[in-house]
Structure 1
Amino acid sequence: MFEPRVALASLSGESDADWARTASKHVGAAFLGGIALDDETRKAARQLVSRERNEFLPDDPVSFVDEQLAALADVPVRPGINVRSATLPPIRAVGDVCERHGAILELNAHCRQEEMCAVGAGQSLLRDADRLCQQVRAATETGATVSVKVRTEVPGVNLPRVARRAADAGADVVHIDAMDSEHVVADVADATDCFLVANNGVRDGKTVVEYLDHGADAVSVGRASDKPEVLSRVCRTTDEWFAEVAV
C-alpha cells in the first residue's frame, strides 16, 4: 500500500500539498483534506468556519483535489484525499480524479462535529452502515483505492462489524482513530483483511509498537505531523518493528 508504513493523517483546513511535501522524507503516505464535497457538507463547513475552525472551502472542490494531487506528482509519497459528503455523485467525481493520480480516496466516517453529523456525514455514517457502504461502493466503482476513516468509542456502534461491512462493500483500507481504545484495533484487524492504519497519540516508539502489536499494518500521525523529530522517531520505530517481524 505504501512504504514506509507511516502516514500523515488529515487535519481539516491544514493538510494540503505543501504540508505533505514538507513531511515526505519521513512518511509513505499523506491524507490531504478533509474536503467537504457537496452542498450539504459545504454548508456545514462554513458553519464550522464561523466558530473559528479551519476548513478547505474552494469554489470547485473536485478541481481543487485535482490540483493538489498534481502538485505532489514529483513527491515520493502516496497521496490520499479525505472527503466528506452526504451524496454520492461528488464521491464518484473525486474518485475518478484519485484513480487518475494513483491516490487513495478516503471517506470520512470520523468527523464528530455536530454540523457534519447533522447532514449525514462524518461519524453519523458509523451509525448508518447502509449509507456508508453505499459511499464505499460509489467510490470503488471509479477504480480508486478506497479508505474509510473511522473512530472508536462512538456509542451504539460495533466498529469491527461496521468495518467488516465496509470491507465487504469494497474498502481497501480502514484508518482507525483508536481514541484510547487500542484493543479495538485488534478487533478490527480480526474482523477484516483490509490494510489497517492506526491513529491517535502516535508520537513515540511505545505507541507505535502497541498499535502494530495489536494488528495494525501502519500508523498515522495527525497533530504532530509538522514535527520532523516526531516523524523521524515514528518512522524509525516502524521500520525496526517490521524488520524484526521479517526475521
Structure 2
Amino acid sequence: MASTVSFTPPLALASLSGEADADWARAGAEYAGSAFLGGIALDADARAAASELVDRDRTEFLPDDPLAFIDRELESLAETPIKPAFNVRSATVDPVVDAARICRDREAYLEINAHCRQNELCAVGCGETLLRDDERLARYVDRAAATGVTVGAKVRAEVPGVDLPGLARRLERAGADFVHVDAMDSESVIADIVDATDLFVIANNGVRDDETVREYVDYGADAVSVGRPSDNPVVLERVHDAVEQRLGLEVNR
C-alpha cells in the first residue's frame, strides 16, 4: 500500500543536534513543508552518550524530561504552517513508543534515528549501530506504528554490510511510512529504495540548488531535505524554487 505521507512543498528541514527546535522550524516555514526537530536522546544510555558529545563541544538537546520537551516543542508549532516531525534516539524501545504517542497526538511524524555515527552513540546501540541491527530497528518501527503514529527512519548510505533497499523493505513491512536517506556519495541508492518499496522517500545530502534537487528527483525521491544550511534563507529559497519547478508544484508563500 502506498505511503500516506505528504507535505507541501516537498522540502523538509533536516534535524540538527541541539539546534533543530520549534524556533528553527518557524524560521524555515516560509520555504519548507516539513521540519524534523531533534535529534533528542530519550533513554538513560542515549542521554549519557549525548552528554559525552557535549563534553567535546557538540550541541545537544538535554532537557530534564525529553518527552515533555517533545510535547512542548510540538505544541508551540500548532499554529505554524509546517508539518512537524521529531527525530529520536534511544537504546531501548519503550521510550520510542512513548514519544510516538506524543507525536501521534500532536499530528507529527516520528523519525527513528538510525543515522548518527558518533562513537559515543554507537557504543550504546543508537544511531548507525541500530542501522546495522535490522531486527531491532524493525521492532522499534513496529512498536511505534502500533500507536497509530506516522513513523519512519533516518538512515545513511555507504555503511558496510547494510543493504538499504532490503532494509527499507523490512521497515515497510514493520509499518514504516517513510525513509529519510542521507545518500552520502551514493545518490543512486535513492532509485534503488524507490524501486524496492512504496515508502515516501526523502533524499538528503548536499541539497543546495536546482542541480542537486534535479538529481534526486530524477532518481525518484518524493521530497528532499536541507540540513546544515537550513537556517540560511538564501539557500532555502533557492532549493524551494527548484523543488517547485522539478516537482510541478504551485506553492503560495
Matched residue, 2:40: 35
Q: What residue ranges of structure 2 are gaps of 5+ in the alignment?
A: 1-5
Deviations 1:42-66 (A, max 9, x none): 0100011111111000000000000
| Distance (Å, rounded) in 2 between the aligned partners of 1:25 and 1:147 | 24
- Tell me which amino acid in the other structure corresponds to 2:208: R
Q: Please state how far the C-alpha of 1:23 moved relative to its aligned partner.
A: 0.7
| Distance (Å, rounded) in 1 between the aligned partners of 2:149 and 2:157 | 25
Please state if 1:186 is matched with 2:191. Answer: yes
Q: What residue ranges of structure 1 are gaps of 5+ in the alignment?
A: none
1:182 is paired with a residue whose SS is coil
The runs of at least 4 consecutive aligned structure 1 residues that moved more than 3 Å come to none
- Tell me which amino acid in the other structure corresponds to 2:80: V
| Distance (Å, rounded) in 2 between the aligned partners of 1:167 and 1:156 | 20
Deviations 1:202-243 (A, max 9, x none): 001000010010010000000000111111111111111122
RMSD, aligned CA = 0.8
Could you tell me which of 109, 112, 115 is aligned with 1:107?
A: 112
Matched residue, 1:145: 150
Alignment of structure 1 residues 90-105 onto 2, 5 Å:
90-105=95-110
| Distance (Å, rounded) in 2 between the aligned partners of 1:166 and 1:47 | 30
| Distance (Å, rounded) in 1 between the aligned partners of 2:30 and 2:245 | 17
Matched residue, 1:199: 204
Q: Please state how far the C-alpha of 1:147 moved relative to its aligned partner.
A: 1.5
Deviations 1:159-178 (A, max 9, x none): 11111111110100100001
- Tell me which amino acid in the other structure corresponds to 2:128: Q
Out of 101-110 and 226-235, give the one that drifted further: 226-235
Matched residue, 2:230: 225
Q: Please state how far the C-alpha of 1:88 moved relative to its aligned partner.
A: 1.2
- Tell me which amino acid in the other structure corresponds to 2:86: I
Identity, in percent, stands at 59
| Distance (Å, rounded) in 2 between the aligned partners of 1:142 and 1:12 | 26
Matched residue, 2:162: 157
- Aligned pairs, number: 244
Deviations 1:93-151 (A, max 9, x none): 11110001110000000000111111111011121100000100111011110020000
Please state if 1:6 is matched with 2:11. Answer: yes
1:58 is paired with a residue whose SS is coil
| Distance (Å, rounded) in 1 between the aligned partners of 2:197 and 2:24 | 31
Alignment of structure 1 residues 36-185 onto 2, 5 Å:
36-185=41-190
- Tell me which amino acid in the other structure corresponds to 2:151: V
Out of 170-179 and 228-237, give the one that drifted further: 228-237
Matched residue, 2:246: 241
| Distance (Å, rounded) in 2 between the aligned partners of 1:165 and 1:115 | 27
Matched residue, 2:3: none
